[in-house]
């Protein structure tokens, strides 16, 4: 019998629903072509629901989400909601409560896509960032003292557990081995200043490294990596880093791979439910115009299929993305693609080669 996957779909805010629609089109086409089925359940979590009902992530919804095979997320962030409320209450809450302890972010330049890096091409920009996703400065530890007074104090602490760093590092070594590219794992930190947090990370890194003699190891400070990602991106294969540094360097990574229109990521819990998303935001100014680039969301669906073990379906989507970005789109930027959001989805579906119903 054909396999069936239960997918929770969280279109979210802004352009999220528009890009998720196209990602689902690609998913259905790839499923049809390779012979599995999906059962999708939509959830209206996000800014609109919060503004109407005050609910962000009800406990029973969270419990339901635990039971899916995977989650596909559009975007979180609403112009009428104060920054931090939805980000922390929904996106980070999902990552934390579902213990999605790795944020996997490929930085891959496809042929035909323009990079701002002079003299660099697809052979140079081919790395993956493994970002710790449940700890660090994101843990929310800290608080105010004497808030609102001239003597106000704000403390925001970085939480780093040996268990948390180690499981992320081990995932990165495994991933690097499976990827079988340069077989090089780079730890990105700041051991010269953050002498507690990254001391722990560095010890964990080199301890785990002993189990992976086939993987070359390297260490680079976060400020320096921003330099080398621009100057010599070809040095990198897999990079492992903490939550905040991973957040920052993957936006830099997204730019060198062609922009937020193409960058996708997976929030991974290897033993639980994982969630896949385009890494760009909700783009309020493009909302509802059918001009946003859906490729990042389609790439998120591709990552989801890889994670589920549907490798041929994932490869079909990846090849379709490559064709669209190299031969059709004028640019990856919203409104400049030469096609509408839904037309880009149609092209991807065409290249996947499934027989459409209409
Ligand atoms: C990302 C985003 C989030 C983060 C925000 C929206 C909370 O920037 O997924 O990279 O900082 O992790
Ligand atoms: Mn970010």
Quick check: 196 pLDDT over 50? Answer: yes
Cα separation of 56 and 350, whole Å? 37
pLDDT tens, residue by residue, 40-53: 999 999 999 999 99
**Percentage of the chain exceeding pLDDT 70:** 98
Residue 284 sits at φ, ψ, to 5 deg, of -50, -35
Q: Using alpha carbons, select from 212, 104, 99, 236 the residue that is nearest to residue 161.
A: 99
Q: Which residues surround ligand 2, an ion (CB under 5 A)?
A: 247
Q: Which residue of 92, 137, 268, 300 sits with most ligand 1 atoms within 8 Å of its CB, as the best mutation to test the pocket?
A: 92
Residue-wise pLDDT tens digits, 142-173: 999 999 999 999 999 999 999 999 999 999 99
Residue 355: predicted pLDDT: 58
**Which whole-number Å values give the CA distances from 148 to 124, 140, 145, in the listed order?**
50, 20, 9
| 30, 136, 139, 151 from 145: Cα distances, Å | 54, 21, 19, 8
27/179 Cα distance (integer angstroms):
23
Locate the ligand 1 atom nearest the alpha carbon of residue 279 and give its number. Answer: 9
Residue nearest to atom 8 of ligand 1 (CA): 247
Average pLDDT over residues 297-312: 98
Which of 161, 136, 300 shows the shortest CA–CA distance to 222? 136
Q: What angle do CA 184, 187, 192 make, to 5 degrees?
A: 140
Asked if residue 112 has pLDDT above 90, the reply is: yes
Helix axes 222-231, 243-256, angle to 10 degrees: 10
- At residue 358, the pLDDT reads 46
| pTM, full prediction | 0.97
- Does 354 have pLDDT greater than 50? yes
Atom number, ligand 1, closest to the C-alpha of residue 95: 12
Q: What DSSP string runs through 73-108? A: EEE---TTS-TTHHIIIIIIHHHHHTT--EEEEEEE
- Domains identified in the chain and CATH numbers: 1-101+260-358 (3.40.718.10), 115-257 (3.40.718.10)
Average pLDDT, the chain: 97
263 Cβ inside 6 Å of ligand 1: no
Cα–Cα distance for residue pair 20/22, rounded to 1 Å: 5
CA atoms of 271 and 280, how far apart (whole Å): 26
């Amino acid at each position: 019998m054909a396999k069936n996957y239960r997918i929770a779909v969280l279109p979210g805010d802004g352009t999220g629903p528009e890009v998720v629609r196209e990602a689902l089109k690609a998913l259905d086409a790839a499923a049809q072509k390779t012979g599995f089925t999906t059962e999708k359940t939509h959830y209206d979590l996000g800014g609109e629901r919060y503004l109407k009902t005050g609910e962000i992530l009800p406990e029973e919804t969270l419990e339901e989400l635990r039971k899916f095979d995977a989650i596909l997320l559009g975007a979180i962030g609403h112009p009428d909601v104060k920054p931090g409320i939805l980000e922390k209450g929904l996106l980070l809450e999902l990552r934390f409560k579902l213990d999605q302890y790795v944020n996997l972010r490929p930085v891959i330049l496809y042929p035909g896509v323009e990079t701002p890096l002079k003299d660099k091409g697809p052979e140079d920009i081919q790395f993956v960032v493994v970002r710790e996703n449940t700890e660090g400065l994101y843990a929310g530890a800290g608080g105010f003292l004497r808030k609102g007074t001239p003597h106000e104090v704000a403390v925001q602490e970085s939480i780093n557990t040996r268990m948390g760093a180690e499981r992320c590092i081990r995932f990165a070594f495994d991933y690097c081995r499976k990827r079988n590219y340069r077989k090089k794992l780079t730890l990105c930190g700041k051991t010269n200043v953050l002498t507690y947090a990254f001391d722990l990370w560095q010890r964990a890194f080199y301890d785990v490294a002993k189990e992976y003699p086939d993987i070359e190891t390297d260490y680079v400070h976060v400020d320096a990596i921003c330099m080398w990602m621009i100057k010599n991106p070809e040095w990198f294969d897999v990079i492992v880093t903490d939550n905040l540094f991973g957040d920052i360097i993957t936006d830099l990574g997204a730019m060198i791979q062609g922009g937020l229109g193409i960058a996708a990521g997976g929030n991974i819990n290897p033993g639980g439910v994982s969630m896949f998303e385009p890494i760009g935001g909700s783009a309020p100014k493009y909302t509802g115009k059918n001009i946003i680039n859906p490729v990042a969301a389609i790439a998120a669906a591709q990552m989801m299929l890889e994670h589920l073990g549907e490798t041929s379906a994932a490869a079909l989507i990846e090849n379709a993305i490559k064709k669209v970005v190299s031969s059709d789109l004028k640019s990856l930027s919203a409104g400049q693609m030469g096609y509408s959001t839904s037309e880009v989805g149609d092209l991807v579906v065409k290249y996947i080669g499934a027989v459409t119903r209409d």
